[in-house]
Amino acid sequence: MASTYRSPRRAVAWGGALAASALLLTACGASTPEEGADGEPATVTMWARASTASQSQLLVDAFNAEHETQIDLTVVPTDNYLQKVGVAAGADELPCVLASDVVYMPNFVRQNLFLDVTDRVEALEFADALVPGHMDLGTEDGVIYSVPHTIGMSAIFQNDVLLERAGIDPSAELGSLRELADNAAAVAALGPEFSGLYYTGNNAGSISFTHFPAIWASGGEALSEDGTESLLSSDESVEVFEIFNEMFVSGATPDSVRNESGATRNDVFATGNVGYVLASNSVLEAVAENEALTIGVQGIPGVDGGVSTYVGGDVVGISSSCDTPDAAWEFLEWTLGEEAQVDVFAQNNILSVRTDLADNEFSAEDPRVVRLGELLADGRTPKALNYGQTFNDPNGPALTAFREALFGSDARAALEASDDAINSSLAN
């Protein structure tokens, strides 16, 4: 079988080297490890951002323990990741395996940072079960450049103990965003030390992560299909932000939310004095239950119903600097297998990146994990070439718009006023 690795773009600049190396690539599903330059089984370099590195490390440790090929993982501070990748790409010194926040993938693909793994992925028996949002952002013009690596999904986490004190049935599914607002107000009415709803209000990336699903569940869109135009001033989006604004004005959401960067969000929820928190699935790993806190999970509803979630996290691919792509694929293929997804991820309460393994022997022990797995089916991942500079950059245009819409006097006016700046960022 011919090599399944192709890098047509890089071939423009590195055509000679690639043509030569292509002759050395082993067949799909090679049974012997690819050798490094010294003739020994390859040691494959890998980078992962700090915020998801604990999950990458679990996979690397398990893989290294039973394979001749070894993975050398370097953890890069999350805030420095884009800069470090940019510098390394310019010098053609990327690690062989490169993990990336999934929302950056369209930009990385456009910059030719990854090899084509289409044939490799399509040969997997479970290819159709890989998380669709991750696969979509790692694919351009039908060519696949990455596979899912870790899942970070947004949801509502609730304190069942506090809800019962407020007269709310914690087992009842939230029917709408308006019902969430009513319940949050009931919790806040328990006393000044209690908060109805808490979330990260000073980080545009986090706000997108937790508030876009309410827009989707309401039947709206946050971005145009091609990711070049903001739809945040649409009626569906405005109504979502108006409800959150009303919760802030009424005191159902505490004043401290507007300064929350995400650094202390889980700590605030862990106090047991918060009814609901908009956050990621990491809450189940990071926040311990106690007598005052029993954690339940809800999907994020729309204004009048529906449910959705933002499926974030990391994808991973073989970089254009990699000299041992077969060894790199040996690792990536293993990370997607049942052993890695169930015995490593699920056993450590980490969500599987395969929908066919969401219900497994370990997740079945925790109905909250089962619920998160079910919500993945309603999940979305926004795709835009300039998503990072628009929504994740603290100096991008989205943060000012979001904060004014959530905490200012007129949500619609704030979102409409931001259209030009956000559209300009998305388009350039």
pTM: 0.83
| pLDDT in single tens digits along all 428 residues of the chain | 333 333 433 333 333 333 333 333 333 334 466 766 666 788 999 999 998 899 999 999 999 999 999 999 999 998 889 899 999 999 999 999 999 999 999 999 999 999 999 999 999 999 999 988 899 999 999 999 999 999 999 999 999 999 999 999 999 999 999 999 999 999 999 999 999 999 999 999 999 999 999 999 999 999 999 999 999 999 999 999 999 999 999 999 999 999 999 999 999 999 999 999 999 998 998 899 999 999 999 999 999 999 999 999 999 999 999 999 999 999 999 999 999 999 999 998 889 999 889 888 998 888 898 889 888 878 899 999 999 899 988 899 999 999 999 999 999 999 999 999 999 999 98
Task: Report pLDDT for 393.
Answer: 87
Task: Report pLDDT for 218.
Answer: 97
The domain ranges of the chain are: 43-152+312-377, 153-311+384-427
Element (H, E) at 76: strand 70-76
Of 3.40.190.10, 1.10.10.10, 3.30.9.10, 3.30.70.100, which CATH number belongs to 43-152+312-377? 3.40.190.10
- Give the count of alpha carbons within 13 A of 220, CB side only: 25
Element (H, E) at 426: helix 411-427
43-152+312-377 shares its CATH topology with 153-311+384-427: yes
Residue whose token pair is 């997740």: 363
Residue whose token pair is 């919790």: 187
How far apart (Å, rounded) are the C-alpha atoms in residues 200 and 264? 9
Structure tokens at 41: 């089984």
Question: Could you give phi then psi for residue 115, rounded to 5 degrees?
Answer: -85, 155
Closest CA to 332 of 17, 2, 5: 5
**8 A C-beta contact, residue 120 and residue 3:** no
Rg of the chain over all Cα atoms, to the nearest angstrom? 22
Task: Report pLDDT for 32.
Answer: 61
Task: Report pLDDT for 12.
Answer: 33
CATH code at 153-311+384-427:
3.40.190.10
